[in-house]
Structures are given as structure tokens and as C-alpha cells.
Amino acid sequence: MSDTKSESLNPFAIAQRQFDGAAELLGLDVSARLLLREPMREFAVTIPVRMDDGNTRVFKGYRVQYNNSRGPTKGGLRWHPDETIDTVRALAAWMTWKTAVVDLPLGGGKGGVTCNPLEMTEGEKERLARGYIRAVGRVLGATRDIPAPDVYTNSQIMAWMLDEYETLVGETHPGVITGKPLQLGGSQGRGDATARGGVYVMREACKLLGIDPSTARVAVQGFGKVGSNAALLGSKVLGLTVVAACDVNGAVINEDGIDVDALAQHSLRTGSVVGFDGAESMDPDGLLELPVDIVVPAALENAITARNAGKIQAKIVCELANGPTTPDADAVLHERGIYVIPDFLANAGGVTVSYLEQVQNAYNYYWDVKEVHTQLDRRMTESFHAVHELHESRKVDMRTAAYMISIDRVATACRLRGWI
């Protein structure tokens, strides 16, 4: 994504800078700061995979267990060509603050493999998924560390990994991984949970800011599991008008409103939003700067930097991606009065339903989708208002308020355990 010379775009340096600011405001003691600004455990592995052409390729994989004071570490698995230990560290840190801000009895972790799944066959992906579990499986478990889908991974990949794990341990353990297919112990409502949780907090933000969703316009960056469902649910549940959307290949715009169902079908069929005949093509770089009410970054880190923060025209930035806004950009958005719903609050719906999936796995009893939506709505709405109230009372931006709540909860758990 976009770059500026003066600004550090290393995601872990950004996560630490965000942490430091909130820790200072909380008056956190030195030992807590030292413990909480670093991961507790990291694993780096090499995964040999036999490719379809008969050659073996060796992939780098990572699993970072950032903090487990509040429960087993939990966090997705990303397969991306730009994956590094620092992106995984940052994402694991944000998972720790995410599970804490919505008050789940879980810690934070994350995994990654440096690869390009868009250029791999299904067989190659299956062998990589199984190889990853053979490499890190012994540190995973429903009471240790629980992966889930993230960028370029999906429920099929979770199914292969579950199968490999259960083959290794010789028992069924559905709670070792979430985001599974329904037939293997997945939860109703997990597929669109991240987006749905985001839609619930957008609804609450609109109420607070006096925005009528039925006349509000929105632009969505990223059209994968999260972005496409945010567009679909934003229009169906809230009545928002989606005017622009993009993915890694390009962007489309229709000032009168995009038929989101048709765009989702087009994207499913062709693999991209590009070429959709219900909209014009546009330069994806300008998407977040469009004159809309809400922008939804739902792709990767560093989408909003010092370079473009001054050009954002929306009233609300609902961060469904992890780490889309740099600290320098945050300061500009705050100064300009733009309401940012920070990533680890806005996109906590995914891990919330992953937690509900684990609860159902433990009971071996499964709920209907209405029950899942009710529980998700309650937790997202309560957490959002707790953050908003602190934002108002302490006169800090929403991200800092969310950090203050989470850090306090995690530090308390560490103190109770006698770690600090």
C-alpha cells in the first residue's frame, strides 16, 4: 500500500507506538510496559511442499503467541507474499487487544505463511496447510492457541488443518481451530461475522453522529470475506448505499449506488470486482478520498497514511482491516474531527463468533444463526459504547480509548497471575 519517506510503515513498530501512547495515559508501570509491548512466544518454521510440477518449494511460516494471561491465544492465519515476522507480531498484538476489548476469555496470537495462494493449486494449498500443522501443531490446541481464517485463507484450509491436527493427536478436537465448515463443527454466522460486527458498530456510530444510514454513502476498500460482506450487510441491514468498491486488481464506482448482490456474484465468478458492468472503473488510489459518509478499509495495513489522511472526506472511518491507519494519519484524522472506529474494536466480530464456535464445540451442541447474531450484537454494541464513553470522558481518540480498556484488562490479568 501507499508509502511516505518520513513515516515508519512497519506494522509492529506501529503497534508498539500505539501501545506506548495509551500505556503512558494509563500510567502503566515499567514492568507491565516491558511485558506487554513484546510477544511472549514466537515460532518460525520452514515448510517443504511438493508442488504439482514435482519440485519441492520451502515456505516460511510463523506463529506468534503474544499474550495468554486472559486465556488461550487466538488469532487468524494469513497467507500472503508480503508476510513477515513483524506483520505477524503486529497482528498478534492487535488480537490481544481485540479479545480484551470485547471481553472474551482469550489471549492474542496470529500465524502467517509467506506465499502467494492466488498462484497455487488446491492440491498445493492442501499440502501447505497440512505442512503448517505438522510444523506448529504441537503448540496449538483448544486450551493453548487457536487459529482461524484471515487474508487468503478460508474454511476449506481450516478443514485440512483440523484434519491434520486430529490425525496427529489421534482424537477429535474441533475447538483447535475456528472458521471451520459447518459440517465439521463450524458455527452458524461465522462466515460474515467480522463484517456483521462492523455493521453493528457503524449503526451505533451513525446514531451518535446523527447520520441517517438510509441516505449515507459508503466506499469499501477490499472485496474479500470481510469487504464484500460489509458491502452486502451494510446495504441490507443498515440501508447504506455502496458507491465504490475495490480489490487488489482495481476499483469500480457508481454514484447512484452499486447493486452489491450483483457485484458480489461478479466477483465470485471472475475473482475480481474489475469488469463489473453495473459500475465504471476508477483509480483505486482515490477510493478512500471519495466524498462519502463512511469509508471502510477492509484490505491490508497502511491504507491511510500521512499522505492521504488530509484528503479523507468521510465522517466515519470504520476499520475492518487490521492496521489500516498509521499513527501519523491517526493524528490528522483526529485533528480533522473524523470519527475512527478502530480496527481491533470494529473487526472484533470475527473472533467473537470464533469464540462462540469454540463454546459450541465444547458443548457439542449447536445454536441457530439467530442466537449467534443476538450474542454478537450485544457484545459489539456494549463494547463500542464503553470505548465511546471513555473517548468522551478522557478526550482521547477512539483508538486510544480502546487501547486503554484493553491494556488495563490484560495488565490486570498479568498482575493477578503474579507475572508483574
**Residues tagged active-site:** 110
Does 62 participate in binding ligand NAD (rule CB under 6 A)?
Answer: no
Q: Which is nearer to ligand NAD, 238 or 248 (CB)?
A: 248
Q: Which is nearer to ligand NAD, 352 or 411 (CB)?
A: 352
Residue 300 Cβ vs ligand NAD, minimum distance, rounded to whole Å: 5
Which part of the chain contacts ligand NAD (CB under 6 A), choosing from 147-155, 233-241, 252-260, 369-377?
147-155
Of 108, 115, 100, 102, which Cα lies nearest the Cα of 45?
Answer: 115
User: What is the CA angle 42-48-49, rounded to 5?
Assistant: 125
What distances in angstroms separate CA 202 from CA 90, 277, 345, 360, 395, one per listed residue?
Answer: 25, 29, 11, 28, 21
Does 115 participate in binding ligand NAD (rule CB under 6 A)?
Answer: no
Distance, in Å, from the CA atom of 420 to the CA atom of 417, rounded to the nearest integer, reads 8
Residue 348 Cβ vs ligand NAD, minimum distance, rounded to whole Å: 8
> In terms of residues, how long is the chain?
420
Give the interface size with ligand NAD as a residue count (CB under 6 A). 25
Residue 247 Cβ vs ligand NAD, minimum distance, rounded to whole Å: 3
Instruction: Map the footprint of ligand NAD across residues 289-308, applying CB under 6 A.
Output: 298-300
Does 274 participate in binding ligand NAD (rule CB under 6 A)?
Answer: no
Residue 149 burial (CB < 10 Å; 0-12/13-18/19+)? buried
Output the CA torsion sign for 21, 27, 30, 31: negative
Does 64 participate in binding ligand NAD (rule CB under 6 A)?
Answer: no
CB 96 within 8 A of CB 351: no
Q: Which is nearer to ligand NAD, 33 or 78 (CB)?
A: 78
Does 322 participate in binding ligand NAD (rule CB under 6 A)?
Answer: yes
Does 155 participate in binding ligand NAD (rule CB under 6 A)?
Answer: no
Name residue 184's amino acid: L
Per CB under 6 A, the list member of 248, 306, 359, 386 interacting with ligand NAD is 248
Does 74 participate in binding ligand NAD (rule CB under 6 A)?
Answer: no
Q: Which is nearer to ligand NAD, 217 or 225 (CB)?
A: 225
Does 202 participate in binding ligand NAD (rule CB under 6 A)?
Answer: no
- Which set of grid coordinates corresponds to residue 382? 456494549
Does 318 participate in binding ligand NAD (rule CB under 6 A)?
Answer: no
Q: Please list the alpha-helical segments (H only) found in 191-306.
A: 193-209, 225-237, 260-270
CB 378 within 8 A of CB 370: no
Which part of the chain contacts ligand NAD (CB under 6 A), choosing from 21-29, 202-210, 275-283, 317-325?
317-325
Per CB under 6 A, the list member of 33, 89, 225, 315 interacting with ligand NAD is 225
Distance, in Å, from the CA atom of 17 to the CA atom of 12, rounded to the nearest integer, reads 8
Strand order in the sheet with 250-253: 280-282, 250-253, 241-247, 217-221, 294-297, 316-318, 339-341
Does 260 participate in binding ligand NAD (rule CB under 6 A)?
Answer: no
Which part of the chain contacts ligand NAD (CB under 6 A), choosing from 5-13, 81-89, 224-232, 376-384?
224-232
Residue 295 Cβ vs ligand NAD, minimum distance, rounded to whole Å: 13
Output the CA torsion sign for 129, 134, 140, 142: positive
Distance, in Å, from the CA atom of 175 to the CA atom of 156, rounded to the nearest integer, reads 16
Distance, in Å, from the CA atom of 298 to the CA atom of 221, rounded to the nearest integer, reads 5
Instruction: Map the footprint of ligand NAD across residues 348-387, applying CB under 6 A.
Output: 350
Which part of the chain contacts ligand NAD (CB under 6 A), choosing from 33-41, 144-152, 368-376, 386-394?
144-152
Q: How many CA atoms lie within 13 A of 357 on its CB side?
A: 31
CB 97 within 8 A of CB 407: yes
**Interface contacts to ligand NAD, rule CB under 6 A:** 1, 149-152, 194, 221-227, 246-248, 284, 298-300, 320-322, 347, 350
